[in-house]
Amino acid sequence: MNYILLQAAAPKGFDPTQILFFVAIFAIMYFLMIRPQQKRAKEMQRMLESLQVNDKVITAAGIIGRIVSIKPDKNVVVIEIDETNKIRVDFQRSAIVSILNINDKAVAQ
């Protein structure tokens, strides 16, 4: 009886299926987690690069306004949040979450 228990507890040799198992787990993680995140980051970067004056945007803080000017050297966007009082606020370009089209529907998120 002790011989059977010792044999079961003894370290086994190299098993190539273990490596295959870890490769499969990594592939699943890549396609379910890493790749979609990279895709979203590329879409966000493309949206931020396509910002133009007079685009209506939403910031990360939930502020809706119109882009008045873009300062590419400082990576800053000036947004007018109140047209009647001409209130303008500087935001980092990365604070822009989405661009709104004429019908106020989100174009990019």
Q: Is the dihedral of CA 11, 13, 17, 23 positive or negative?
A: positive
pLDDT at res. 41: 94
pLDDT at res. 17: 83
What are the backbone dihedrals phi and psi of residue 37, each rounded to the nearest 5 degrees, phi first? Answer: -65, -40
Q: What pTM does this model have?
A: 0.65
Please, what are the domains in the chain? Answer: 50-100 (2.30.30)
pLDDT at res. 15: 75
Averages of pLDDT over runs of 10 residues in the chain (109 residues) are 57 76 91 92 93 93 94 92 92 93 53
CA distance 71 to 86: 19
Element containing residue 26 per DSSP (H, E): helix 16-29
pLDDT at res. 9: 55
CA distance 92 to 39: 22
DSSP state of 106: B
Taking alpha carbons only, the member of 85, 17, 96, 19 closest to residue 56 is 96
pLDDT at res. 5: 55
